[in-house]
């Protein structure tokens, strides 16, 4: 069986009061005017698969206005199994279930069914600061290695403790000796995070280089490098990690805050050797993000032996004709499951005979019946 979402139920999620929808293998096209609930459907799927929204930090924003909780359910297939995923949320309480069993940790849940999400907002991966890029990397790694989530949580705790200490401990002798203990842990956990991120950067780089030449032009070279502890050479950075921390100790004490560690690292994205953020055109940047997402698909495929579900939110209007055709071709010709949202105008771009849904004001209406399209 393929990695697929078979059906989805939403209860009081965003602008959906009560809705159930079945999806098909291959392409599922969701169209409608602005503000009807297209993005909300993809958000629901993403939330079920990852336990997070990619849009908000405050989960209570996901509850239908004036309601107290939301509930999502999906039946998915992955390799030889059918899996039921459920999410229930009310402020202060979040329950995620796999096959009716509640998961204690996010890492028990994430990565069972994989998805790659791509929306115009993802341009921020290139345009904005390093934290967007670290987040992109960490989300990818977490889908494949759930242990990465625990590493990140432990790391955050260490940074928090270290910061507390730097702010509150007045006795310089005590401060130094305690900082040394925390630094040791920071090195242990931080190194593992750096190693994961560097490894996945290399994998992304290998796929993206080729894909970018295909979509953009053979004359352009996209390259990705993980930039750790102020160094481009990661093995060198790891080697001198203890030294770097020691050298910064006095500055940290002076400024009363943690100033170095993988929480400050970056993923460098270059076009022909120059930072894409500064020199690539808008369209090139969009193509690069598309490239990163398609590389993510390939990495998950290599790991899981199957392609993740592809969630594309409103991405067609952002691309020029050539790039748009490339993407449509990619989706049209692949057997993998794709949920794509678009406005009314763009749906004619696709071949006929796909599953088509119209979304109007929080209701999803299937336009063609199951027998009328090929799988
Ligand atoms: N918690 C909520 N409760 C009720 N409605 C909400 C909630 N959050 C968002 N909405 C509404 O849901 C509607 C649909 O939002 P959505 O982002 O899915 O639209 P869309 O179809 O993707 O539109 P666009 O084409 O503009 O991207 C919006 O009108 C929005 O105001
Ligand atoms: Mg939208």
Q: Which tens digits make up the pLDDT trace of 324-350?
A: 889 888 887 777 899 999 998 777 777
Residue 374 has pLDDT above 50, yes or no: no
Residue of the nearest CA to atom 5 in ligand 1? 15
> Of the candidates 235, 147, 160, which has an alpha carbon nearest to the alpha carbon of residue 191?
235
Write the CB contacts of 28 (distance below 8 Å, at least 6 apart in sequence).
Answer: 337, 338, 339, 340, 354, 355, 357
pLDDT digits (tens, 9 = 90+) for 186-227: 999 999 999 999 999 999 999 999 999 988 889 999 999 999
Would you place residue 21 in the very low, low, confident or very high pLDDT band (cuts 50, 70, 90)? very high
Which ligand 1 atom is the nearest neighbour of the CA of 37? Answer: 18
Domains in the chain with CATH codes: 1-114+308-375 (3.40.50.300), 123-305 (1.20.1050.90)
Among all bound ligands, the one having the nearest atom to the CA of 34 is 1
Nearest CA to ligand 1 atom 9: 14
Residues 128-152: tens digit of each pLDDT: 999 999 999 999 999 999 999 999 9
How far is ligand 2, taken at its centre, from the CA of residue 62, in Å? Answer: 15
CB atoms inside a 10 Å sphere around CB 110: 23
Has this prediction a pTM greater than 0.95? no
State pLDDT tens for residues 111-131: 899 999 999 999 999 999 999
Neighbours of 252 (CB within 10 A): 20
Nearest atom within ligand 1 for CA of residue 341 = 22
Report every protein residue that has its C-beta within 5 angstroms of ion ligand 2: 38-39
Q: Which ligand 1 atom sits nearest the alpha carbon of residue 36?
A: 21
Residue 17 confidence (pLDDT) = 98
Instruction: Please tell me the predicted confidence (pLDDT) of residue 290.
Output: 93
pLDDT tens-digit readout, 26-67: 899 999 999 999 999 999 999 999 988 877 779 999 999 999
How close is the Cα of 285 to the center of ligand 2, in Å? 20
Tell me the C-alpha distance between 101 and 115, whole Å. Answer: 21
The pLDDT score that the predictor gives to residue 319 is: 87
For range 5-22, the mean pLDDT = 98
Cα(85) to ligand 1 centroid in Å equals 23
User: 33 alpha carbon to ligand 1 midpoint, in Å?
Assistant: 11
pLDDT at position 77: 96
Per-residue pLDDT, 203: 98
Q: Looking at the CA of 31, name the nearest ligand.
A: 1
The helix (run of H) or strand (run of E) holding residue 296 is: helix 282-304
Euclidean distance between CA atoms 289 and 273, whole angstroms: 17
CA 328 – CA 313 distance, rounded (Å): 13
Nearest-CA neighbor of 28 among 305, 340, 295, 237?
A: 340
Ligand 1 site: residues with CB under 6 angstroms?
Answer: 14-15, 32, 34-40, 61, 63-65, 314, 343
Query: What is the model's pLDDT at position 373?
Result: 45
Residue 339 CA to ligand 1 centre (angstroms):
17
Distance CA 224, CA 99 (A): 38
Please give the pLDDT value at position 246: 95
Residue 257 has pLDDT above 90, yes or no: yes
pLDDT over 90 at 352, yes or no: no
Per-residue pLDDT band for 292 (boundaries 50, 70, 90) equals: very high
């Amino acid at each position: 069986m393929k990695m697929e979402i078979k059906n989805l139920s939403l209860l009081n999620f965003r602008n959906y009061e009560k809705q159930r929808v079945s999806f098909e293998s291959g392409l599922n096209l969701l169209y409608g005017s602005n503000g009807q609930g297209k993005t909300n459907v993809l958000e629901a799927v993403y939330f079920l698969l990852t336990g997070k929204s990619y849009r908000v930090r405050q989960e209570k924003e996901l509850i239908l206005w004036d309601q107290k909780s939301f509930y999502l359910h999906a039946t998915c297939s992955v390799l030889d199994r059918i899996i039921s995923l459920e999410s229930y949320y009310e402020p202060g309480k979040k329950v995620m279930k796999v096959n009716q069993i509640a998961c204690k940790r996010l890492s028990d849940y994430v990565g069972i069914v994989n998805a790659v999400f791509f929306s115009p907002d993802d341009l921020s991966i290139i345009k904005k600061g390093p934290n967007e890029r670290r987040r992109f990397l960490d989300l990818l790694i977490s889908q494949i290695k759930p242990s990465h989530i625990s590493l990140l949580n432990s790391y955050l705790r260490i940074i928090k403790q270290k910061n507390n200490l730097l702010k509150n401990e007045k006795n310089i002798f005590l401060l130094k000796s305690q900082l040394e203990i925390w630094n040791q842990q920071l090195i242990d956990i931080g190194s593992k995070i750096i190693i994961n991120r560097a490894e996945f950067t290399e994998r992304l780089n290998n796929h993206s280089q080729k894909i970018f030449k295909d979509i953009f032009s053979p004359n352009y070279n996209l390259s990705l490098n993980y930039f750790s502890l102020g160094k481009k050479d990661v093995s060198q950075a790891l080697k001198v990690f203890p030294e770097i921390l020691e050298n910064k100790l006095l500055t940290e004490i002076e400024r009363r805050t943690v100033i170095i560690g993988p929480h400050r690292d970056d993923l460098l994205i270059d076009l022909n050797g120059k930072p894409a953020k500064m020199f690539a055109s808008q369209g090139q940047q969009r193509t690069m993000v598309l490239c990163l997402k398609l590389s993510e698909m390939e990495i998950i495929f290599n790991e899981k032996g199957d392609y993740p579900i592809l969630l594309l939110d409103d991405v067609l209007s952002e691309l020029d004709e050539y790039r748009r055709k490339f993407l449509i071709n990619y989706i049209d010709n692949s057997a993998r499951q794709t949920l794509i949202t678009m406005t009314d105008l763009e749906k004619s771009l696709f071949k006929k005979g796909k599953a088509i849904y119209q979304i109007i004001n929080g209701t999803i209406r299937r336009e063609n019946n199951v027998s009328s399209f090929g799988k």
